[in-house]
């Protein structure tokens, strides 16, 4: 996986804290949708997901482990 690849979110990480209701809700809305990878931090992939909230894409990001996504379009 690399920046620019488009990935589909397959699963919500099980270790999201229950106290993070906004975060869990955001992941639930994003599940099944596809987003381009915009960055990496350690083992986590950054996806900009603002569009699911009716905002500009860059206004909301999530960080997710690679085992929770599948590449659906790889860039060369």
pLDDT in tens, 15-57: 777 666 678 888 899 999 999 999 999 999 999 999 998 888 8
CB 32 within 8 A of CB 12: no
**Does residue 32 lie in a domain region?**
yes
| Residue of 53, 66, 58, 51 lying closest to 22 (CA atoms) | 53
pTM of the model: 0.86
Domain count, the chain: 1
More confident residue, 57 or 70: 70
Residue 9 burial (10 A CB sphere; 0-12, 13-18, 19+) = buried
Domain hosting 20: range is 6-73
**Does residue 1 lie in a domain region?**
no
CB 28 within 8 A of CB 12: yes
pLDDT of residue 57: 86
pLDDT of residue 19: 66
Residues 6 or more apart in contact with residue 32 via CB below 8 angstroms: 8, 9, 10
């Amino acid at each position: 996986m690399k920046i620019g690849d488009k990935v589909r979110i397959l699963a919500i990480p099980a270790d999201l804290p229950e106290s993070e209701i906004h975060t869990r809700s955001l992941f639930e809305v994003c599940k099944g949708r596809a987003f381009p990878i915009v960055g990496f931090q350690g083992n986590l992939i950054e996806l900009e997901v603002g569009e699911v909230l009716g905002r500009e894409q860059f206004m909301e990001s999530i960080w997710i482990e690679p085992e929770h996504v599948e590449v659906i379009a790889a860039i060369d």
